[in-house]
Amino acid sequence: MLEIPAAPRSGTIILNPLRYIQSTFGLAATALLLSSQALPAWSLIEYSPAQRDTVIELVEQLQDRHYAKLDYDDELSAEHLDSYIDSLDSGKMFFLASDIEEFEQYRTVMDDQVKEGKLDAGFAIFNRFHQRLQDRLNTTIDTLPDAVAAMDFTVDETISLDTESRQWAKTQQELDDRWRKQLKNQVLSLKLADKPEDEIVPTLEKRYKRQLKSVTQYNNQDVFQIYANALTELYDPHTNYLSPRSTENFNINMSLSLEGIGAVLQMEDEYTKVSSLVAKGPADKQGELHPADRIVAVGQGEDGPLEDVIGWRLDEVVELIRGKKDTVVRLEVIPAKSKSTDERKVITIVRNKVKLEEQSAQKKILEIPNGDDIVKVGVIDIPAFYIDFDAMRRNEKDYKSTTRDVKVLLQELQDEGVDGIVIDLRNNGGGSLQEANELTGLFIEYGPTVQIRHSSRRVWRDGKRLKSPYYDGPLVVLVNRLSASASEIFAGAMQDYQRAIIVGDRSFGKGTVQTLIPLTEGQLKITESKFYRISGESTQHRGVVPDIVFPSLYDTEEIGESSLDHALSWDNISPIRHSDYGDLAALLPAIQSQFDERSGHNPDFIYLEDQVALAQQTRKIKELPLKESERIALRDSQEAKALSIENKRRKATGEELLTSLEDEDEEALEEDELAGIDSEEEKEEEEADDVLLEEAGHVLIDALLLSQRGIALNQEKESAR
């Protein structure tokens, strides 16, 4: 069974496969891979006999084996039509209202057609889109120099960012004006990103010509995959059809021979977006690339030219980013926090492989002042739930696994006299279910860990079956929005057993299990099962809700299961009888009060909360000005707010105030040069203390002291008797 941790939408490629080789769990690479044989300028694309058989099999498997138990009927046919049109033209930039009206004839017949192996509706709609797309690109390229020359950036007009509420254009003139504004916005963004004026037209011309070249290469495999996935993703976002070329790419990604930056990418509109980073991969260790960043250009080496990749196919962008170990790639990105496309940042990353030992659990000790005392808190950072299956099958004595490594670290920390343990699961996207169960066994005497409910509605349970020694000291588990799948199973079990206090941000919410089914042509990755906690609650959609909530550094509208269309809902089943290892729930009100008091006076915590608030304000911007002076004013306003937040923190900590955000970057560079920081290890040692990790340590100390007081109070009561 193949379980896909924290899987993004289809249209995703994995740039470093190691975490997916460590176990039978992985992300499916479902990029639209095209034939190298170019079609004529425009011709009809027709489906093949093999695709007739494939679509019949696909629907049968969806109806029989998918967890949601949905029938492909008239109602789902109507949704399939809307989903398909949206997958082709989500920005409403190609089809006219008259086209959409014409497509209504297919609304309740697509299910009947598909079950008979007919793909007429899907290919007819695509061919219309294909022709409109090529016509638009040709026209844009032909008129680009004159169109840019005629632009007036003193005119008071705006472009809408809310494409979902946009209506289909009723006339060609209305659609032309929509394109005029989009092109004007692209030009203005390049201007404000300091692109020389004489390079703007060549940059856009190259961009559109590249798109046109890709468009002319579409073949029936591409059309079939888009049409099929418009249906499969109505069942849930992790159920995808993989064409033969996509399957080949998936298999390539499972090879250790690939080297890259350690990132998972997906397409969003015309941008290549970072979905997640592989723990301890080159990008993760470099530290500047973040989930939801959009890659707009790629450069080779320290000083190679940056090649604009907006509008490129995902596999084409990946080919630029991939490369040999120890070579340099530069990514120009629009940061996730930026609302407009004006803000750009160039990130330099050295390509490498992600090694198993680098993803291993690591330990450190926090020494936290508590009055006149120093409390030692042990921290175990677990980047992934890994296991060397090959070594285990060979019966090697010392094969690597998460549980084996953590067991050793636990003993070492206890030998060093720590007063409690924090398990850091931030950014841990999952991995081996077996390891999630085994790890739980290090902290409980015995008992169930997880329930798995199949689409047949049969439920089976897994966990620790035999009693054995376990760590019974104070325990806190730190999670964030990128903690998913196996991480959620472990954190949920610790919470249900009242074995640990969970702190941080609500987790990802990926609580489903996928498997691969071969078809006549390609494969179907289908959601067959769902995870449930021993409390009976699903980890799906809702994730694990922390006992003590820290500020979220991630946009929940962009990241997490709840951000994905058609994600399966949260629900619950019968709980399993289990023991409680304490009454942590009784301590939580006091711990929450102490946390509120402490965080309310912590400049770094206030800084995080202010950043979150600013991001929420930015998300409310629904349109951008196309008047240059107003666009600059908007950008300056955003930068002023960010500067104010930074100086508020600096004032509270006694640091020198900044006059601009650029000063902060220069200051950090100067500090590194003065300190002679060369290696990654030295950089990590010089970084400021992790405010969230330190706060997790404070929560552990609060729980420890409150428990000790409770024990002392009970002893006094017993003595009084």
- Give the CA distances from residue 621 to residues 159, 160, 161, 562, 618, in Å, rounded to whole numbers and listed in that order: 11, 9, 8, 21, 6
- Structure tokens given for 424: 């850091």
Sign for the CA dihedral angle at 338, 340, 343, 348 comes to: positive
Q: Where are the domains of the chain?
A: 34-242, 247-350, 360-582
Task: List the catalytic residue out of 496, 505, 604, 610.
Answer: 496
Residue 14 has pLDDT above 50, yes or no: no
Residue 503 has pLDDT above 80, yes or no: yes
Residue 667 has pLDDT above 70, yes or no: no
pLDDT score at 558:
83
CA pair distance 706, 493, nearest whole angstrom: 23
Confidence bin at 245 (pLDDT 50/70/90): confident
The pLDDT tens digits for 375-392 are 999 999 999 898 887 777
Pairing verdict, β 373-381 and 362-370 = antiparallel
Residues 6+ apart with CB under 8 A from 611: 551, 553, 645
- Residue type (1 letter), 470: Y
Task: List the catalytic residue out of 214, 485, 487, 538.
Answer: 485
Residue 95 has pLDDT above 90, yes or no: yes
How many alpha carbons fall within 13 Å on the CB side of residue 170? 0
Three-state DSSP at 232 gives: helix
CA pair distance 718, 347, nearest whole angstrom: 64
pLDDT score at 223:
96
pLDDT score at 580:
93
Rounded mean pLDDT, 670-679: 47
Task: List the catalytic residue out of 92, 191, 273, 510.
Answer: 510
CA pair distance 497, 534, nearest whole angstrom: 9
- Give the CA distances from residue 66 to residues 117, 441, 526, in Å, rounded to whole numbers and listed in that order: 20, 31, 6
pLDDT score at 714:
57
CA pair distance 489, 494, nearest whole angstrom: 9
pLDDT score at 712:
54
Percentage of the chain modeled with pLDDT above 90: 63
DSSP letter at 552 equals: P
Confidence bin at 163 (pLDDT 50/70/90): confident
Determine how many CB atoms are found less than 10 A away from the CB of residue 647: 16
Q: Which residue has the higher pLDDT, 687 or 77?
A: 77
The reply to whether 280 belongs to the active site is: no
Confidence bin at 467 (pLDDT 50/70/90): very high
Confidence bin at 30 (pLDDT 50/70/90): very low
Confidence bin at 715 (pLDDT 50/70/90): low
CA pair distance 334, 294, nearest whole angstrom: 5
pLDDT score at 292:
85
The pLDDT tens digits for 316-341 are 888 889 888 889 999 999 888 775 67
Residue 119 has pLDDT above 90, yes or no: yes
In 352-388, alpha helices (H)? none
Query: Nearest CA to 93 among 207, 25, 153, 172?
Result: 172
Residue 22 has pLDDT above 50, yes or no: no
Determine how many CB atoms are found less than 10 A away from the CB of residue 112: 13
Rounded mean pLDDT, 284-290: 88
pLDDT score at 348:
94
Residues 6+ apart with CB under 8 A from 240: 10, 28, 30, 229, 232, 233, 524, 525
pLDDT score at 227:
97
The answer to whether residues 437 and 392 touch, using CB atoms and an 8 Å cutoff, is: no
- Structure tokens given for 189: 């963004």
Rounded mean pLDDT, 40-44: 62
Rounded mean pLDDT, 75-91: 96
Average pLDDT, the chain: 86
pTM of this prediction exceeds 0.85: no
End-to-end CA distance of the chain: 59
Rounded mean pLDDT, 90-112: 96
Residue 18 has pLDDT above 70, yes or no: no
Burial class for 653, CB neighbours closer than 10 Å (0-12, 13-18, 19+): exposed
Three-state DSSP at 191 gives: helix
Residue 33 has pLDDT above 50, yes or no: no
Rounded mean pLDDT, 624-651: 93
pLDDT score at 312:
84
Rounded mean pLDDT, 520-531: 96
pLDDT score at 40:
42
SS (H, E, C) 6-70: CCCCCCEEECCCHHHHCCCCCCCCCCCCCCCCCCCCCCCCCCCHHHHHHHHHHHHHHHHHCCCCC
Query: Nearest CA to 708 among 299, 257, 370?
Result: 370
CATH class of domain segment(s) 247-350: mainly beta
CA pair distance 493, 230, nearest whole angstrom: 35
DSSP letter at 563 equals: G
Q: Which has the minimum average pLDDT: 88-97, 150-159, 228-237, 240-249?
A: 240-249
Note the Cα 346 to chain centre separation in Å: 21
The reply to whether 496 belongs to the active site is: yes
Burial class for 255, CB neighbours closer than 10 Å (0-12, 13-18, 19+): exposed
Q: Which has the minimum average pLDDT: 88-102, 136-150, 289-303?
A: 289-303
Pairing verdict, β 501-504 and 373-381 = unpaired
pLDDT score at 668:
53
Per the listing, tokens 């906690």 go with 533
The reply to whether 485 belongs to the active site is: yes
The pLDDT tens digits for 48-73 are 999 999 999 999 999 999 999 999 99
Q: Which helix (H) or strand (E) holds 277?
A: strand 271-277
Rounded mean pLDDT, 68-91: 96
Query: Nearest CA to 30 among 264, 368, 285?
Result: 264
CATH class of domain segment(s) 360-582: alpha beta
pLDDT score at 417:
96
